[in-house]
């Protein structure tokens, strides 16, 4: 990865340089937590309903427009549209596309895997979640990729408890993914979330010993999102300026939840009620 590409990633999606040390902890008040729960519920429902619309013959533009209508009907709006000039309501990434896929005239086909990322703003606060849908049947290794990526999400969420550190989340993803023969994307990470799509702290999906790892404290809210490649971890951005693909052209999967840190089991805000992790 070139230095210019690295700079572009951070200039495009992450605006953390000017944030104060207080922002690093990303602590939400009880009132803010309630607003985040409301945003999470709308984001979760939109994601589920959008996933149900995925079928052979559907255009990605139609999926994006459906999601926009559902967000509005549920009292929210896209948190992605216009963010850093992003031109769509959602991100729709197919097969080797990792994240930030732009909806258009591409038609979903049997055997595709479709990653959809939905961010919803309700009353100024954001819920952010993603899932990968298998369209019909795909090959066994791709099916395993999707299953392992989802498993890594819940393995990492189980580590998102007060007293642990962000690196514990990162380690859980990396160990499960790599032990199954897949690789984690390095250039894009999970993150804090609240009034902005991306807040501190960054939540990598791999262990970086050179980066100081923040402690997890009650009231911190994180978007935890493993992005996993079937082949090598390298990625590149297409000429549209947004769509990120696996450099080797092999499939990629993406799952995400918005999670609140508590003294006990973490609370998944983008779930209809709390999900048990056992």
Is 277 part of a structural domain of the chain?
no
What angle, 0 to 180 degrees and rounded to 10, lies between the N-to-C axes of helices 166-179 and 140-157? 160
The proportion of the chain whose per-residue pLDDT surpasses 70, expressed as a percent, equals 88
C-alpha to C-alpha distances, 12 to 6, 16, 84, 97, 204, nearest whole angstrom:
10, 11, 6, 18, 17
Is 273 part of a structural domain of the chain?
no
Is 127 part of a structural domain of the chain?
yes
How high is the pLDDT of residue 272? 60
Is 239 part of a structural domain of the chain?
yes
- Domains: count for the chain: 1
How high is the pLDDT of residue 113? 98
Residues 111-119: what's their mean pLDDT?
A: 98
pLDDT band at 199 (very low <50, low <70, confident <90, very high): very high
**Can you spell out the DSSP letters for 54-123?**
--TT-BHHHHHHHHHHHHHHTT-EESSTTGGG--SSSEEEETTEEE-PPPSSPBP-TT-EEEEEEEEEET
Q: Which parts of 123-238 are beta strand (E)?
A: 125-134, 183-184, 190-192, 199-203, 221-224, 227-229, 235-237
How much is the pTM? Answer: 0.89
More confident: 210 or 187: 187
Residue 99 sits in a domain of what CATH number? 3.90.230.10
Is 275 part of a structural domain of the chain?
no
Enclosing domain of residue 51? 3-268
pLDDT band at 6 (very low <50, low <70, confident <90, very high): very low
Is 274 part of a structural domain of the chain?
no
**141-168: per-residue pLDDT in tens?**
999 999 999 999 999 999 999 999 999 9
């Amino acid at each position: 990865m070139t230095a210019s590409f690295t700079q572009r990633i951070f200039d495009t999606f992450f605006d953390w340089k000017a944030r104060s040390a207080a922002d690093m902890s990303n602590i939400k008040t009880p009132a803010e937590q309630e607003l985040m729960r409301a945003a999470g519920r709308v984001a979760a429902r939109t994601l589920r309903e959008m996933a149900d619309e995925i079928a052979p013959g559907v255009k990605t533009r139609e999926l994006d427009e459906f999601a926009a209508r559902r967000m509005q009907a549920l009292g929210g709006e896209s948190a992605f549209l216009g963010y850093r000039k992003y031109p769509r309501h959602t991100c729709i990434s197919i097969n080797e596309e990792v994240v930030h896929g732009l909806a258009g005239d591409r038609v979903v086909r049997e055997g595709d895997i479709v990653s959809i990322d939905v961010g919803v703003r309700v009353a100024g606060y954001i819920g952010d979640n993603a899932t990968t849908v298998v369209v019909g049947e795909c090959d066994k290794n791709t099916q395993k990729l999707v299953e392992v990526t989802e498993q890594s999400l819940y393995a990492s969420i189980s580590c998102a408890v007060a007293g642990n550190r962000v690196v514990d989340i990162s380690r859980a993803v990396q160990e499960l993914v790599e032990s199954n023969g897949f690789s984690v994307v390095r250039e894009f990470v999970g993150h804090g979330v609240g009034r902005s799509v991306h807040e501190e702290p960054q939540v990598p999906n791999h262990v970086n010993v050179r980066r100081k790892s923040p402690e997890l404290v009650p009231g911190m809210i994180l978007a935890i999102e493993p992005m996993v490649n079937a082949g090598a971890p390298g990625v590149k951005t297409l000429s549209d300026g947004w769509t990120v693909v696996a450099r080797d052209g092999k499939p990629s999967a993406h799952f995400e939840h918005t999670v609140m840190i508590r003294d006990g089991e973490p609370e998944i805000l983008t779930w209809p009620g709390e999900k048990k992790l056992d």
